């Protein structure tokens, strides 16, 4: 539990602070007044006036740097972003559309930069990759690795996880066992012993665990006997001079995957009113943070990069209450030559904010129910 909490706070704080730093740095470069940069959040709004609004503050260069009691994420407060200070040269609202667009978009851009940096770092240090020829690819720690677990499958019930490496299968009743080094060994053994209880030895991080499972004789279409997808995965290092290019390629690949995932989410939500089971909320992300940290540094670096890419993609969507929604209103302003009525804009931001909160609550409830 400590690992889960610590890794979650670290991941969320890093990706959010980098996002906010993008807004902060761009506003400062354009000489727009930044009133405050906060590390963490105050709990006063939730817990009342007795809760300390700030732990302590520093003021430098006209900016208040606050350190707050709730230790995750952060925020930046820019003068004029709520419409105040019209006519003041230091106010956000008084700046040309392109400057306001740059300040808002900088948060998304910095999340992409963070993802690129981490993917590049991971490539240089060594990142998990699907292996065809371990010797040719110079891979280490090669193993038959779980890449997905089907919901309600035997593997799901027994808490098999993505990233687990299957090292040995044993049928106690028949007195036979097999070390697993390639995909065919696992697939053939489970088919031959379908319907019988097997002991599966898996490597999770540095730990070896044993789990008992009964592979299904007639699994649902598209699922195997245990309900897992597998691949031969090893750690592959990229030469340092190629790592930045590899990081950029991974950013592109992940962006396409995220775009496809958001398309499925939107389609399912509009057509059925439900959220796909694969979508995780804060609780689900916390669990995944802990799992990736347990698997090792290579997996954790790539997990943070993926979360940063998800945050960038989510924020750039043209939905009110998100950065993308604010960018959309700026585009409309540029086209029509005047600002959108502030009352209408703020009402839309408020309404969609409530919808997003309700969606997060729904997904969080499902995450908690899944973990219990």
pLDDT tens for the chain, 372 residues: list them: 666 677 777 888 899 999 999 999 999 999 999 999 988 877 655 555 556 677 888 999 889 998 887 777 788 999 998 888 888 889 999 999 999 999 999 999 999 999 999 999 988 988 888 887 655 467 788 889 998 888 888 998 898 988 899 999 999 888 898 999 888 899 899 888 888 899 999 998 778 999 999 998 888 887 888 989 889 888 888 889 999 999 999 999 888 888 887 777 677 766 766 555 555 544 455 555 656 666 777 778 888 898 898 889 888 988 888 899 899 999 998 898 888 877 888 788 788 777 776 766 665 555 555 544
User: Which CATH code is given to the segment(s) 134-236?
Assistant: 2.30.42.10
Query: Residues 130, 49: contact at Cβ < 8 Å?
Result: no
Instruction: Please tell me whether residue 53 adopts helix, strand or coil conformation.
Output: coil
Closest among 177, 183, 170, 202 to 144, alpha carbons compared = 183
Reported as a single tens digit per residue, the pLDDT across 313-345 is 888 988 888 899 899 999 998 898 888 877 888
Of 293, 260, 292, nearest to 279 by C-alpha is 260
Nearest to 162, CA basis, from 349, 290, 339:
290
Domain-by-domain residue ranges, the chain? 2-33+79-120+281-371, 134-236
Element (H, E) at 346: helix 342-371
């Amino acid at each position: 539990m400590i690992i889960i909490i610590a890794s979650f706070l670290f991941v969320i704080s890093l990706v959010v602070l980098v996002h906010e730093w993008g807004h902060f740095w761009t506003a400062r470069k354009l000489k727009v007044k930044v009133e405050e940069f906060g590390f963490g959040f105050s709990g006063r709004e939730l817990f009342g006036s007795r809760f300390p609004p700030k732990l302590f503050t520093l003021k430098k260069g006209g900016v208040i740097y606050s350190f707050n009691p709730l230790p995750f994420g952060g925020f930046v407060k820019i003068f004029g972003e709520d419409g105040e200070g019209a006519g003041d040269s230091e106010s956000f609202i008084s700046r040309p559309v392109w400057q306001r667009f740059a300040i808002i978009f900088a948060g998304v851009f910095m999340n992409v930069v963070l993802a690129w940096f981490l993917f590049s770092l991971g490539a240089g240090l060594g990142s998990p990759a699907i292996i065809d020829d371990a010797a040719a690819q110079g891979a280490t720690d090669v193993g038959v690795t779980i890449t997905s677990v089907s919901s309600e499958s035997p593997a799901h019930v027994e808490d098999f996880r993505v990233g687990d490496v299957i090292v040995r299968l044993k049928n106690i009743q028949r007195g036979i066992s097999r070390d697993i080094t390639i995909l065919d060994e696992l697939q053939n053994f489970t088919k031959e012993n379908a319907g019988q209880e097997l002991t599966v030895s898996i490597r999770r991080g540095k730990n070896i665990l044993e789990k008992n499972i009964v592979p299904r004789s007639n699994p649902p279409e598209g699922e195997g006997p245990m309900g897992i997808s597998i691949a031969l995965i090893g750690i592959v290092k990229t030469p340092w001079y190629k790592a930045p290019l590899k990081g950029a390629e991974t950013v592109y690949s992940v962006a396409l995957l995220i775009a496809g995932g958001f398309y499925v989410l939107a389609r399912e939500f509009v057509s059925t009113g439900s959220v796909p089971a694969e979508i995780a909320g804060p609780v689900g992300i916390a669990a995944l943070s802990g799992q990736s940290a347990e698997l090792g540094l290579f997996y954790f670096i790539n997990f943070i990069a993926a979360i940063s890419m998800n945050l960038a993609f989510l924020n750039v969507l043209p939905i009110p209450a998100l950065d993308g929604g604010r960018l959309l209103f700026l585009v409309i302003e540029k086209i029509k030559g005047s600002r959108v009525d502030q009352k209408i804009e703020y009402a839309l931001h408020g309404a969609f904010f409530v919808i997003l909160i309700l969606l997060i609550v729904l997904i969080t409830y499902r995450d908690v129910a899944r973990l219990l």
